[in-house]
Structure 1
Amino acid sequence: MGSGKHYVLAAGGTGGHMVPAAALAAELTRRGHKVALLSDTRGARFPDLFDGVETRVVQAGRFSGGPVGWIKTVGLMLRGREQALQLYREFKPAAVIAFGGYASMPALMAAFSVKVPTIIHEQNAVLGRVNRLVAGRVSAIATSYDKVERLKPSHEKKTHLVGNPVREAVLDLRLKPYPPLEEDGIFRVLVTGGSQGASVLSEVVPDGLALLPVHFRRRLQVTHQARVEDIDDVRRKYAEHGIPAEIATYLPDLPERLAWAHVVIARAGASTIAELTAAGRPAILVPLPSATDDHQTANAREISAAGGARTIPQRAFTPQELAKQMQKLGLEPVGLAHAAACARSVGRPDAVRDLADLVESIDADWASAGLGRAEPVKVRQGGEAFA
């Protein structure tokens, strides 16, 4: 393995892309490498994840809005490509690692044009749109699941199962036992909809928990992450039901909350699943129905099949259904601990190590990289762009 190299990470500015990128950045830095980040304006403002890492904003856009929208997006992508090339000329990366999102596209276009090795990491169980566009061009594909939909068989030889990196504070929970649940003890529930919250959880969960048998309901203690616009209604509902609850719009100490929880009620985003399986926490999952290619439903299959979670489609997510599933999970302490072990069994705790090993195996020949001359970018209308 090499040391002291430069690597550029590219990621769209959502938690699902940024969290694994930040975990890799920390691991590569620990190994003595230098890392830079390319993202959009959201990623550049992401709290605390990339402290001390050089961050550049690149222009990017979605291929939508018909021909006029496509033309606008092409212009943004080309400007973003030039911004990425400027960083490459200064930073001379040994490889570019992209985590999806439209902001990663200009970074990859630039890397293709100057023949810098590239790796894409797919967090979900369905290959994302940008990753599908570039899969044939990249040097390697890293996946988080053994089975990934929309991944062509012709790409299998360069595909590596590594898992989805999580923050070190979450990974540390794997070394701690599942919190014991005494027969009459406090039952701790964590409700989180991801970095942006989820209104459906705020609408259903308080009323669903209120339907639990009295002896169960009186043991509840809830931490609930809610959207700003929902927080007053959520607080009122819990108060009316007499359920102790802490409500917040953001949980900066999420690893500690995860350690505290007996059950998690959440969406099925890639980072959420990775953290649940790393920590070993049973869950009730409500996949986001509007997620691209329904990838959250695909994300939930592995942990649910293992017995570590129960998945409820949003159309069936009612207070009555939630109460029924909560009783199935929570009335038997032994069964709950078993579900936690099942969730833990499908975790991939070495994800960041294995991804960093893959990155270090890729190198660039700077003598022939040609950073002074960029080849033209070809853009095909109708939703595809590539160098």
Structure 2
Amino acid sequence: MSKPRHFVLAAGGTGGHMVPAAALAAELMKRGHYVALVSDERGVRFPGLFEGIQTHILPAGRLGGGPVGYYKAARDMWRGRAMAIELYRTFRPDAVIGFGGYPALPALLGAFARKIPTAVHEQNAVLGRVNRLVARKVDAIATSYAKVERLKETYNEKTHLVGNPVREEVLAIRARPFPLLEEDSIFRVLVTGGSQGASVLSKVVPDGLSMLPVAFRRRLQVTHQARPEDIEACRAKYKELDIAADLATYLPDLPEHLSWSHVVIARAGASTLAELTCAGRPAILVPLPSATDDHQTVNAREMTMAGGARTINQRDFTPVELAKQMQRLGLDPAALQNAAVRARGCGRPDAARDLADLVESLGDKPNELQIGVPLPAKFPEKAAFA
């Protein structure tokens, strides 16, 4: 085991940022290091990801809203930077790693001020706004895709392809065979809109599945994650159509549902795609059209071109089109198995390990805050820094 070090992970509060940060945290702690998390109110309360880890909330304004909005954002960022610097005086990180989202920016600005080594991890196939802002100054850029749009060629020397880390429960699925599918067996469908759900899936999927041939429709077992405001109407629709379905607003045991799914209908968020490809599960993807820089459409390209997924633009996502794609995937077990193999081929199961290796390399040289200063004997399990 390498010498214990201290790392700060900074991430915005959505699942796309928090899941890979949690996977890296788990890998670093397994290696004997100390980890602290910087995020916003949503991030520090993300269920089941950061138990037993120091968590800190720093103010971070979001750019927008005209001159007044920009002034408020700059003021909050500056406050967050000052608070990050104070945090670093006590925690003394060897490196600070940003995962995107505005809450990551004050932590990185504080690290630049204290000359602490830094890296960013980009989950999407398009470099995000915060990562673009800091790309010139960070020491390393870790990517999830071989080609990342809006990433300048001048940064190639410090760019490393590692993939997008996923939870160990998802990695475990990779070692299992694809669920047995016979002509008259249950066909399991998982519908998920990511950490925030997706209303369009609740509106279209039940009607689309109802258009499948009767023999196929009767074999369906659907698990559907819906938004709270959509769940009752969606549940009633499945019941009206006589389709077996379990609904929830949040699936804490998502890896278990993923392990026995034959097809997944989902958005094309970074964490969703990382989990689908690591597990090797065919998918019908509906990218979020309002995603910044249309990054979900770009995310879906690799898996779709490989033959592991079918992508439907939201404007074309109708019950008829969904039924057509479901029949192509579901009525030919050999084709479905082939799609699973192709999806699996896009996975990068060693992402957490490779990202941890990169992060450790940043901490090889002690930073100025550590010299001659003893490490604390014990860290609190949780801390509020405000």
Give the aligned partner of residue 301 of structure 1.
301
Question: Residue by residue, what CA displacement relative to the aligned partner does 1:86-122 show, whole Å, maximum 9, x if unpaired?
Answer: 1110011100011000000000000001110000000
Amino acid at match of 1:350: D
Which residue is 1:24 aligned to?
A: 24
Indicate the residue corresponding to 1:382 in structure 2.
none
Question: Which structure 2 residues correspond to residues 155-304 of structure 1 after superposition, within 5 A?
Answer: 155-304=155-304
What is the aligned partner in structure 2 of residue 385 from structure 1?
none
Which SS does the other structure have where 2:121 is aligned? strand
Give the conservation status (yes or no) of the 8 Å contact 1:24–1:165.
yes
CA distance in 1, matches of 2:316, 2:46: 34
Distance 1:186 1:78 in 2: 56
What TM-score, normalized to structure 1?
A: 0.94
Mark the CA change 1:41 to 1:194 in structure 2 (over 3 Å): closer, same or farther: same
Amino acid at match of 2:84: A
> Aligned partners of 1:6, 1:248: CA distance in 2, in Å?
38
For 1:42 and 1:98, the matched residues in 2 are separated by 16
Code of the residue aligned with 2:35 in structure 1: it is: V
User: 3-state SS of the aligned residue for 1:361?
Assistant: helix
Counterpart-to-counterpart distance in 2, 1:225 and 1:366: 46
Asked if structure 1 preserves the Cα contact closer than 8 Å seen for 2:92 and 2:370, the reply is no
Q: Contact between 2:125 and 2:149, CA under 8 Å: does it hold in 1?
A: yes
Instruction: Name the residue aligned to 2:109.
Output: 109
Look up the match of 2:61: 61
Contact kept? 1:117, 1:364, Cα under 8 Å: no
**Contact 2:118/2:139 (<8 A) preserved:** yes
Structure 2 CA distance for aligned equivalents of residues 369 and 62 of structure 1: 30
Partner Cα distance (1:124, 1:366) in 2: 31
How far does residue 366 in structure 1 lie from its aligned partner after superposition?
5.0
Q: Name the residue aligned to 1:329.
A: 329
Please say if residues 194 and 272 of structure 2, whose CA atoms lie closer than 8 Å, have aligned partners that are also in contact.
yes
Q: 8 Å contact 1:122–1:144 — kept in the other structure?
A: yes
Tell me the equivalent position of 2:317: 317
- For residue 328 of structure 1, give the secondary structure of its aligned residue in structure 2: helix
Q: 1 CA distance for matches of 2:222 and 2:258?
A: 12
Q: How many residues align?
A: 371
SS in structure 2 of the partner of residue 276 of structure 1: helix
Q: Tell me the equivalent position of 2:148.
A: 148
Whole-Å Cα distance in 2 between the matches of residues 366 and 282 of structure 1?
45
Q: Specify whether residues 33 and 367 from structure 1 end up closer, same or farther in structure 2 by C-alpha distance, changes over 3 A only.
A: closer
Alpha-carbon deviation of 1:367?
A: 6.1
Q: Which string of whole-angstrom CA distances, capped at 9 and with x for unpartnered residues, describes residues 287-334 of structure 1?
A: 000000000000000000000000000000000000000001010011
CA distance in 2, matches of 1:364, 1:339: 42
Amino acid at match of 1:215: A
Aligned-pair distance for 1:369? 5.2
Counterpart AA for 1:214? V
Residue 376 of structure 2 corresponds to none
CA distance in 2, matches of 1:309, 1:207: 21
Offset at residue 368 of structure 1 (A)? 3.8
| Whole-angstrom distance in 2 between the partners of 1:25 and 1:107 | 16
Offset from partner CA, 1:40-92 (integer Å, 9 cap, x none): 11111111211111001000011101111111111100111111111110011
- SS, match of residue 362 in structure 2: coil
For 1:11 and 1:83, the matched residues in 2 are separated by 16
SS of the residue corresponding to residue 55 of structure 1 reads: strand
Residue equivalent to 2:383 = none
In the alignment, what sits opposite 1:341? 341
Q: Give the superposed CA RMSD.
A: 1.2
Report the alpha carbon displacement of residue 214 of structure 1 after superposing the two structures with TM.
0.8
The runs of 5 or more residues in structure 1 that have no matched partner are: 372-387
2:94–2:367 contact (8 Å) kept in structure 1: no
Q: Is the 8 A contact 1:117 1:363 kept in 2?
A: yes
Cross-structure match for 1:80: 80
Shift in Å at residue 2 of structure 1?
3.9
TM-superposed CA distance for 1:363, in Å, is: 2.2
Structure-2 separation of matches of 1:36 and 1:231: 35
1:3 Cα deviation after fit: 2.1
SS at match of 1:85: helix
Kindly provide the amino acid, as one letter, of the partner of residue 308 in structure 2. Answer: G
Distance (Å, rounded) in 1 between the aligned partners of 2:284 and 2:268:
9
Runs (4 or more) in structure 1 with deviation over 6 Å come to: none
Aligned partners of 1:304 and 1:272: how far apart in 2?
A: 14
- Secondary structure in 1 aligned to 2:324? helix
Task: Name the % identity.
Answer: 70
In structure 2, runs of 5+ residues without a counterpart are 372-386
